[in-house]
């Protein structure tokens, strides 16, 4: 999804969003918990159903996708997608243990068996797929730039080289932190943290001038900023989000893909109750899943 579409849909969505908020009842979007599902013994689904609980890695600092709430439980679209998958194995939301999976540790927590799956704005790419298996994609984002609202020098990534004193912030282990390098005057321009929240704070207090990551993550920060931040330029990469699971668990991957395809209404409701409330976003259609490997 491109930001141009977000922007075009913006006026209508503000109205739709405020109407939806009036009748908002989060219990409406609680996913179905299937109690009579049957799975072949030995599969991950059978094991998790038998355990009655699972562990999910997600983000804790990204409004709209995964943000730790007041009850110390994360909220957002990724969280709701995980609940749909868990529910199809008979696991209720309260039986999910949430672990913070910052960008740099996602493959590792899957490989170490610390989590059963990662749903965390996680771009599918070949390098990562050497270590883990991806289900999905379940959403298509794209990299963009966020600056302070009074910054008129940066209108897109091509302007970064002309402003070599400006600092660009992103997160270690993320695809945007690599993809931005070709647009920098030198590597000294890049500031890396472990989570995006720290980039957002650094932009707010003037330690950096630009934050770069996926458009939907940045839109969450813009929405929260009360007019202090803005997005500039178009998206300049494609970031298909996948669900990370143990390498080679094709049965679990196919189960996840089928579960999402069978629950498109829940998928749309999940979006509308979370990221869809952020100004400038547009309800996605579930993309066609890639073959599991
Ligand atoms: N989707 C990109 C990635 O997986 C950026 C967002 C993130 O760091 O989670 O690296």
Domain ranges of the chain: 26-139+241-277, 143-232
* Residue 213 beta carbon below 6 angstroms from any ligand 1 atom: yes
* Residue 244 beta carbon below 6 angstroms from any ligand 1 atom: no
Task: Give distance in angstroms: CA of 99 to centre of ligand 1.
Answer: 17
The predicted pLDDT at position 29 comes to: 55
- Helix H, strand E, coil C: the string for the chain is CCHHHHHHHHHHHHHHHHHHHHCCCHHHHCCCCCCCCCCCCCCHHHHHHHHCCEEEEECCEECCCEEECCCCCEECHHHHHHHHHHHCCCCCHHHEEEEECCHHHHHHHHHCCCCCEECCCCECCHHHHCCEEEEEEEEEECEEEEEECCCCCCCCHHHCCCCCCCCEEEECCCHHHHHCHHHCCCHHHEEEECCHHHHHHHHHCCCCCEEEEEHHHHHHHHHHCCCCEEEECCCCCCEEEEEEEECCCHHHHHHHHHHHHHCHHHHHHHHHHCHHHCCCCCCCCCCCCCCCC
* Residue 121 beta carbon below 6 angstroms from any ligand 1 atom: yes
Pick the CATH number of 143-232 from 3.40.190.10, 3.30.1490.20, 3.40.50.2300, 3.80.30.20: 3.40.190.10
| Domain 26-139+241-277 in this protein, CATH class | alpha beta
Question: Ligand 1: which atom is nearest the Cα of residue 177?
Answer: 10
Instruction: Check if 26-139+241-277 and 143-232 are the same fold.
Output: yes
Task: Give distance in angstroms: CA of 169 to centre of ligand 1.
Answer: 13
User: What is the value of pTM for the model shown?
Assistant: 0.90
Would you give per-residue pLDDT tens digits along the chain (293 residues)?
444 333 333 333 333 333 333 334 444 557 899 999 999 999 999 999 999 999 999 999 999 999 999 999 999 999 999 999 999 999 999 999 999 999 999 999 999 999 999 999 999 999 999 999 999 999 999 999 999 999 999 999 999 999 999 999 999 999 999 999 999 999 999 999 999 999 999 999 999 999 999 999 999 999 999 999 999 999 999 999 999 999 999 999 999 999 999 999 999 999 999 999 999 999 999 999 999 99
Pocket test for ligand 1, best of 102, 109, 122 (most atoms within 8 A of CB): 122
Question: Ligand 1: which atom is nearest the Cα of residue 122?
Answer: 4
* Residue 122 beta carbon below 6 angstroms from any ligand 1 atom: yes
* Residue 170 beta carbon below 6 angstroms from any ligand 1 atom: no
């Amino acid at each position: 999804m491109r930001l141009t579409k977000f922007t075009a849909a913006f006026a209508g969505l503000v109205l739709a969003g405020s109407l939806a908020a009036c009748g908002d009842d989060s219990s409406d979007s609680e996913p179905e918990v299937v109690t009579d599902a049957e799975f072949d013994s030995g599969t991950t689904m059978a094991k998790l159903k038998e355990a009655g609980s699972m562990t999910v890695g997600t983000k804790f600092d990204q409004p709209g996708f995964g943000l730790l709430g007041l009850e110390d439980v994360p909220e957002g679209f990724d969280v709701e997608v995980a609940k749909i998958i868990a529910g199809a194995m008979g696991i209720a939301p309260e039986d999910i243990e949430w672990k913070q999976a910052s960008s740099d540790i996602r493959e590792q927590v899957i490989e170490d068996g610390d989590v059963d799956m990662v749903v965390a704005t996680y771009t599918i790419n070949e390098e990562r797929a050497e270590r883990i298996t991806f289900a999905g994609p379940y959403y298509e984002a794209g990299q963009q730039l966020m600056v302070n609202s009074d910054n008129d020098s940066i209108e897109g990534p091509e302007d970064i080289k002309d402003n070599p004193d400006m600092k660009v912030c992103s997160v270690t282990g993320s695809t945007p932190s690599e993809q931005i390098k070709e647009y920098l005057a030198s590597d000294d321009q890049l500031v890396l943290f472990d989570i995006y929240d720290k980039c957002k704070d650094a932009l707010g207090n003037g330690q950096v001038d630009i934050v770069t990551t996926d458009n939907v993550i940045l839109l969450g920060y813009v929405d929260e900023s009360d007019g202090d931040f803005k997005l500039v330029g178009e998206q300049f990469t494609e970031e298909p989000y996948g669900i990370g699971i143990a390498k080679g668990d094709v049965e679990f991957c196919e189960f996840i893909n089928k579960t999402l395809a069978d629950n498109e209404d829940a998928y749309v409701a999940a979006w509308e109750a979370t990221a869809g409330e952020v100004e400038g976003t547009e309800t996605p259609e579930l993309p066609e899943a890639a073959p599991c490997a």
